[in-house]
Amino acid sequence: MKNAETPVVKVVLYGAMSSLGSALMAELLRRQHEVIAILDDLTALAPRPRLRTKTGDLFDAERVKQSVAGSSAVICLLDAPGLPFNSEHVEKTIVPGPVEQVLAVDALIDGMQAANISRLFLVGDFDVLDDPEAEDSLQRHAAEEIREALQSCPLHWTLVNEPRGVPGLTIEHFSQISKSLEPGLAEPLERLARTAAGIADELRLNLHVGEHVDFVAASDA
């Protein structure tokens, strides 16, 4: 039960249908936070206490403003399939490429500023920022553009490296972690849950603002 004096933390989540999105929902709800998942399909998630769904468009600043209004923080998973955008011509399971990610972040920055929401966690393929020899020059250029855009805006942002996900993992996997898991699921579940807990800790303690972080255990390196 939540203490009456405990402030309500409302977190807007873009990318809820990914494996990390599922881990984040489970972790945030476990901490008694409210989660607003921005989706194209409002029936994609089963009803749960403190979990709401809203429609939105990550590539339109005005829609972002409407989606995030009244929240405490925003978490956006740039590599997640099924990110919400208002288009009948794009496959809903598509993962945005580097160019689309830059456009999404621009709209996110503008929309959050318009709604006076300052705390942003941006999760994506940002490990390329630490590797000048990375083969994917387009992704590195996009990551650099995103970082520059954030550095020139007033938002309190944190860049987080995207952990490797596993298709098909849902919030149920993280809400009731069983000892009789399917073969090979224990390690990715632990890795994703650790990243979700790290982001939730950063949100609570307001750490690493304006920084680039990675939630990788020494044994994973």
Query: What's the pLDDT band for 111 if we cut at 50, 70, 90?
Result: very high
Q: Residues 182-195: pLDDT tens digits?
A: 667 888 888 999 99
Identify whether the C-beta of residue 209 lies closer than 8 Å to the C-beta of residue 156. yes
Q: Residues 161-219: pLDDT tens digits?
A: 999 888 888 898 888 765 556 667 888 888 999 999 999 999 999 989 999 999 865 44
Query: How many CB atoms neighbour CB 138 within 10 A?
Result: 11
- Whether 4 is covered by a domain: the verdict is no
Single-letter code of the amino acid located at 76? C
Instruction: Report how far residue 217's alpha carbon sits from residue 194's, in angstroms, rounded to the nearest whole number.
Output: 9
Identify whether the C-beta of residue 40 lies closer than 8 Å to the C-beta of residue 59. no
Report if pTM > 0.95: no
3-state helix, strand, coil in the chain (%, to 5): 40, 15, 45
> The CATH number of the domain where 159 resides is what?
3.40.50.720
Count: domains in the chain:
1
pLDDT tops 80 at residue 4: no
Identify whether the C-beta of residue 28 lies closer than 8 Å to the C-beta of residue 91. no
Q: Range of 16's domain?
A: 10-220
